[in-house]
Structure 1
Amino acid sequence: MSGITAADRFEIHELLARYWKTVDEGDLKGFADTFTEDGSLTNYTGTTTGREALAQWLDDYGPSRAGNRHMSTNTTVTEVDADTATVWSYMVVIAAFEPRTQTPHVAAYGRFNDTVVRVDGGWLFRERLMDDLALNAIDYPG
């Protein structure tokens, strides 16, 4: 297969970075726009489908993300065809709920298996699937 170029891979990595930036900043529209119109997110809260519902999901998630900084790591991109790829990555959440007074630490980690598609020359999530999650009890008691 040779449809996905190095530039495509870079853009897919940028998609993951943009996704987490919108989460950390509470950018509801920007978050929803990282997905296709009928894109879905499946995680510990269930499955959320469609941009409007995804924006609402992020809005509802707001209190849980205050002070968190999310990132993707160990990302791999596997071509399915010229316009589709699967993406595997870890998510690491660094917490500093009281900036400048609290030591940053790992609050959570998870694993994602995603399907991304080329739409109008760019890459978007069609499906994000969190298939593993561990939470630090200090940050997420109970």
Structure 2
Amino acid sequence: MSTVDRLQSIEEIRALIATYAISFDDHDWERFGSLWTEDAAFVVDGEAFEPREAMLEFLTTCLPDDYAGKHMNSPPLIELSPDGESASADTDVVWIPQNFENAIVARYHDTLVRRDGRWLFARREETPLQYKPGPPPMSVTAVGVSGATMRTGGD
């Protein structure tokens, strides 16, 4: 795989991951459904929704059509297979619903495949960060350095 082909694949995968977030947030279910292989799986908290039709049934009905939110994704860390026909990606995500309270902090681990010249999700595993109430148990030095930029329970 040439350097140019490798870079092109990485950029196409970045676009795929961004399209997931945008099409989900926009409730563009036709576009969203086109991002997955027929045998795709979405796995969250150990529960797998597969194949694609079962996965889409779950994901497209998570929220009512009149409720919105936004995915905020980190730049993905992408690893291509030596032959360039499959890849994995890890992306951190924060999902903020319409009430503007952070609702999901997680990492996506994706298994991706190239089919008919385009990249598709074969599997997406969501590993949520479990909620802990209260301020983070930071050291005195860390609070001194960062405390002014942090919201506390009374704010």
Question: TM-score higher than 0.5 here?
Answer: yes
> 1 or 2 for the larger relative contact order (CA 8 Å, sep ≥6)?
1
1:8, distance to aligned residue in structure 2 (A): 0.9
Per-residue Cα deviation, 1:42-95 (whole angstroms, up to 9, x for no partner): 013721112221221123212399231013214100112310111011011123
Structure 1, unaligned stretches of length 5 or more? 98-103, 138-142
Where does residue 109 of structure 2 map in the other structure?
A: 113
Please tell me whether the aligned partners of residues 27 and 65 of structure 2 are also in contact (alpha carbons under 8 angstroms).
Answer: no
Structure 2, unaligned stretches of length 5 or more? 134-155
Please, what is the CA RMSD of the aligned residues?
2.6
Provide closer, same or farther for how the CA distance between residues 78 and 32 of structure 1 changes in structure 2, counting only shifts above 3 A. Answer: same
- Structure 2 distance, partners of 1:136, 1:66, is 26
Please tell me whether the aligned partners of residues 107 and 136 of structure 1 are also in contact (alpha carbons under 8 angstroms).
Answer: no
Please tell me whether the aligned partners of residues 104 and 128 of structure 2 are also in contact (alpha carbons under 8 angstroms).
Answer: no
- Structure 1 distance, partners of 2:132, 2:37, is 32
1:113, distance to aligned residue in structure 2 (A): 1.0
The structure with the greater share of residues assigned to strand is 1
Sequence identity percentage: 27
Of 126, 129, 132, which residue of structure 1 is paired with 2:125? Answer: 129
1:35, distance to aligned residue in structure 2 (A): 0.9
Greater gyration radius: 2
- Structure 2 distance, partners of 1:132, 1:64, is 24
